[in-house]
């Protein structure tokens, strides 16, 4: 059985973070492991609190995972602060970890900060260079590039700017565009669009977390990056179309749809 590790924050309401990752990995018939960076108190309406794990205890979790059940691929989500980023990158280097999907989580769908302001630079210098693919959404790509992204042309400019300082693959997610949810990939110097008509479902809590863990599963199944994203997008689309409507705000995805992992 393939093993996928999620390094991320907990979402007690089950829609995003570690919980979304475990559901996604399990639906792909793979074995999920977790290194928890922070607990969040959140639900479909917002985040009311964050309790960070100490860097020492993050390191302890990484050691216990990597010295026993070595993951085939890794997904990284909420990393919360500079010291946690430092310890994660040290341990990834120490254990020669490969196949890393990095979702540079900064702000929740509801607008709460999930990464300290001062930590963006550390993410760029220490963690992004270790990733096989990074998956910023539009607001995150705006922070990483320093310019505003309103159109698909802006997304193309952004992906090119990001590629100047990072040689891995870059997927800018279009879930925050107005008229479509097209995603843009730059891999091996080639641009590829994944066209996506907006599904009429306001319940999109955890789409980004689910996408990155589905990509990690497909990489574990030896698909290449483009195929991994293609299949991961089909997973998201099915889970959005399966129309779960839970909670008072932007609800979670329905992982219990008729997905058959290949
Ligand atoms: N309404 C929608 N219809 C179809 N696909 C969507 C829709 N909303 C988001 N997606 C897809 O979901 C994936 C995640 O995109 P998005 O930009 O929403 O990420 P995110 O902002 O990181 O998510 P999160 O809500 O977890 O923070 C992308 O592949 C995007 O195309
Ligand atoms: C724990 C956690 N990670 C990521 C996100 C982004 O969706 C969230 N809302 N919560």
| 161 in catalytic set | no
CATH value at residue 239: 3.40.1190.20
Ligand 2 centroid–CA 14 distance in Å is 10
pLDDT at 219: 98
3-class SS of residue 211: helix
ipTM passes above 0.90: yes
- Over residues 39-45, the mean pLDDT reads 96
Phi/psi class of residue 167: alpha, beta or left (left: φ > 0; alpha: ψ in -120 to 50)? alpha
Backbone angles phi, psi at 184, to 5 degrees: -125, 125
pLDDT at 262: 64
181-231 pLDDT, tens digit each? 999 999 999 999 999 999 999 999 999 999 999 999 999 999 999 999 999
CB neighbours of 101 closer than 8 A, spacing ≥ 6? 73, 74, 75, 76, 131, 132, 133, 135, 212, 213, 215, 216, 219
The residue among 96, 33, 93 whose CA lies nearest residue 69 is 33
Ligand 2 centroid–CA 207 distance in Å is 9
pLDDT at 111: 83
pLDDT at 154: 96
Residue 75 · residue 103 · CB < 8 Å = yes
pTM of the model: 0.97
Query: Is the CB of residue 14 below 6 angstroms from any atom belonging to ligand 2?
Result: no
Catalytically annotated residue among 208, 210, 233, 251: 208
**Two structure tokens written together for 214:** 């589905």
Catalytically annotated residue among 145, 173, 175, 217: 173
pLDDT at 109: 76
Q: Atom of ligand 1 at shortest distance to CA of 181?
A: 31
105-149 pLDDT, tens digit each? 998 877 888 999 899 999 999 999 999 999 999 999 999 999 999
**Two structure tokens written together for 109:** 């769908």
Confidence at 74, pLDDT banded by 50, 70, 90 = very high
- Round the average pLDDT of the chain to a whole number and report it: 96
Query: Is the CB of residue 198 below 6 angstroms from any atom belonging to ligand 1?
Result: yes
Q: Which DSSP category does 252 fall into?
A: B
Query: Is the CB of residue 207 below 6 angstroms from any atom belonging to ligand 1?
Result: yes
| 118 in catalytic set | no
Neighbours of 241 (CB within 10 A): 13
* Dihedral of the alpha carbons of 46, 105, 118, 187, in degrees to the nearest 10: -160
Q: Atom of ligand 1 at shortest distance to CA of 108?
A: 27
- Report the side by side order of strands in the sheet with 46-52: 46-52, 31-43, 3-11, 73-76, 100-102, 133-134, 169-172, 183-187, 190-194
Ligand 1 centroid–CA 33 distance in Å is 24
* Tally of structural domains, the chain: 1
Query: Is the CB of residue 132 below 6 angstroms from any atom belonging to ligand 1?
Result: no
Sign of the CA dihedral with 117 first, then 118, 119, and 123 last = positive
pLDDT at 65: 98
Domain that holds residue 207: 3-260
């Amino acid at each position: 059985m393939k093993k996928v590790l999620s390094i991320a924050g907990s979402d007690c309401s089950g829609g995003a973070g570690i919980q979304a990752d475990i559901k996604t990995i399990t639906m792909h018939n793979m074995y999920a492991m977790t290194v928890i960076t922070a607990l969040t108190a959140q639900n479909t309406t917002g985040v009311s609190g964050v309790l960070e794990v100490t860097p020492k205890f993050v390191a302890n979790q990484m050691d216990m995972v990597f010295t026993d059940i070595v993951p085939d691929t890794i997904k990284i989500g909420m990393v919360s602060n500079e010291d946690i980023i430092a310890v994660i990158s040290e341990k990834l280097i120490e254990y020669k970890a490969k196949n890393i999907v990095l979702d540079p989580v900064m702000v929740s769908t509801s607008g709460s900060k999930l990464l300290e302001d001062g930590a963006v630079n550390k993410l760029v210098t220490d963690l992004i260079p270790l990733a096989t693919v990074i998956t910023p959404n539009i607001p995150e790509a705006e922070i990483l590039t320093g310019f505003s992204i309103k159109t698909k042309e802006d997304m193309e400019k952004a992906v090119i700017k990001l590629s100047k300082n990072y040689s891995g693959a870059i997927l800018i997610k279009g879930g925050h565009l107005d008229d479509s949810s097209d995603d843009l990939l730059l891999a091996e110097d080639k641009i590829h669009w994944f066209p996506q008509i907006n599904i009429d479902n306001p319940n999109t809590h955890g789409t980004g977390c689910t996408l990155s863990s589905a990509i990690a599963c497909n990489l574990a199944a030896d698909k290449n990056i483009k195929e991994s994203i293609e299949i991961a997008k089909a997973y998201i689309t099915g889970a959005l179309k399966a129309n779960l409507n839970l909670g008072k705000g932007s609800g979670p995805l329905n992982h219990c749809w008729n997905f058959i992992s290949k």
